[in-house]
Amino acid sequence: MFLETMLLTFKVALITTIILFSIGIPIAFWLSTTKSKLKPIFETIVSMPLVLPPSVIGFYLLVFLGPSSLTGGFFEEYFNTRLVLSYEGIIVGSVIFSFPFMVHPIQSGLQSLQKSLVEASYTLGKSKFQTLFYVQLPNIRASLLTGIVLTFAHTVGEFGVVLMIGGNIPGETRLASLAIYDEVEALNYDLANQYALTLFAICFAILLIVYIINRKFSGVLK
């Protein structure tokens, strides 16, 4: 049971991170270059999960993704997938909840990169796409790593959204943070401690590695 829950937790975190990495880069790129007047609105939307109580997000996800809602109904009918009280549901919830943790570091990395690097690449005939992949992203490795790790660690640690949308189903939506709560409620302090200590150690190790690697990157670049 313990192992199953831990594996599920990291699987959800990994998938969330992969999804957010692939959609975070284009969104961060757009935010870092756009001159649109709507930019503050989009930036606000991206940042909302930072300040909103997770239960608010969880509540609205329940409302908008439930089987009787338009989106939920659509997914249920065409993809045979239920987005609440399910594994898919907590992935969707995690992606939304961890959004700023991926987008912010990448956006600020892109913005702080010397402008002339991009301009030089353009004058050398390289498209925006080539410039992003061969010049910009390789030179903001530290920001990319920060985004990946923060997203991963944040997803491992989330509670409220997963509880609201996942419903705490063992083996499907019960993640480690929920398991701790359950075990404490059942007065199984030993097991709770096992979960808590494992999470603590893993999160500590991940962050430590990031800071060490980032120090190395920033020594090489800039």
11 or 222: CB nearest another protein: 222
Positions touching another protein (CB under 8 A) are 114, 116-117, 119-127, 134-135, 138-139, 220-222
Report in angstroms how near the CB of residue 144 gets to another protein at its nearest. 12
CB of 121 to another protein, least distance (A): 8
Cβ 111 to another protein shortest distance, Å: 17
Residue 134 or 189: which CB sits closer to another protein? 134
CB 205 within 8 A of CB 126: no
Instruction: For the CB of residue 26, give the shortest distance to another protein in the complex, in Å.
Output: 20
Check if the beta carbon of residue 56 is closer than 8 Å to that of residue 135: no
Greatest pairwise CA separation for the chain in angstroms:
66
Q: Give the shortest CB-20-to-another protein separation in angstroms.
A: 24
Residue type at 59?
Answer: F
Q: Which is nearer to another protein, 133 or 189 (CB)?
A: 133
The total of other beta-carbon atoms located within 10 Å of residue 204's CB is 11
State which residue, 37 or 115, has the beta carbon closest to another protein: 115
Task: State which residue, 121 or 177, has the beta carbon closest to another protein.
Answer: 121
Distance from C-alpha of 2 to C-alpha of 111, rounded to nearest angstrom: 43
| Six-digit token string for 122 | 């353009």
Cβ neighbors of 92 (< 8 A, separation 6 or more) are 61, 65, 83, 165
